[in-house]
Amino acid sequence: MWQWFFRLGSPKWFYEMSGKWLPWLLVLMTVLMSVGIFWALLFVPQDYQQGDTIRIMYVHVPVASISLACFPLMAVAGVITLVWKMKLADMVAKCAAPIGAWFTAVALATGAIWGQPIWGTWWAWDARLTSMLIQFFLLIGVIALRSAIESPDAAAKACALLAIVGAINVPIIKYSVEWWNTLHQPASDFSMDENSAFGPEIWVPLVIMIFAVYLFFVISLILSTRNEILQRERRSQWVMDIVANEKV
Applying the rule CB under 8 A, the residues between 138 and 157 that interact with other proteins are 138, 140-141, 144-145, 148-149, 154, 157
DSSP letter for 233, please: T
Classified as helix, coil or strand, 91 is helix
Can you list the alpha helix ranges (DSSP code H) found in the chain?
2-8, 11-38, 54-84, 87-119, 127-148, 152-184, 200-232, 237-245
Return the range that interacts with other proteins (CB under 8 A); candidates 3-11, 42-50, 70-78, 186-194: 42-50
Q: Is 124 in the site for other proteins (CB under 8 A)?
A: no
Name residues contacting other proteins, limited to 200-239 (CB under 8 A).
200-201, 204, 216, 219-220, 223-224, 226-227, 230-231, 234, 239
Q: Which stretch binds other proteins (CB under 8 A): 10-18, 69-77, 186-194, 240-248?
A: 240-248
CB-based contact 16:237 (threshold 8 Å): no
7 vs 245: CA distance, rounded Å = 25
| Given 61, 63, 97, 210, the residue binding other proteins (CB under 8 A) | 63
- Cα separation of 231 and 225, whole Å? 10
Binding mask 11-30 for other proteins (x = CB under 8 A): --------------------
Q: 80 to 119, contacts with other proteins by CB under 8 A? A: 82, 99, 102, 106, 109-110, 113-114, 116-117
CB contact at 8 A, 214 and 25? no
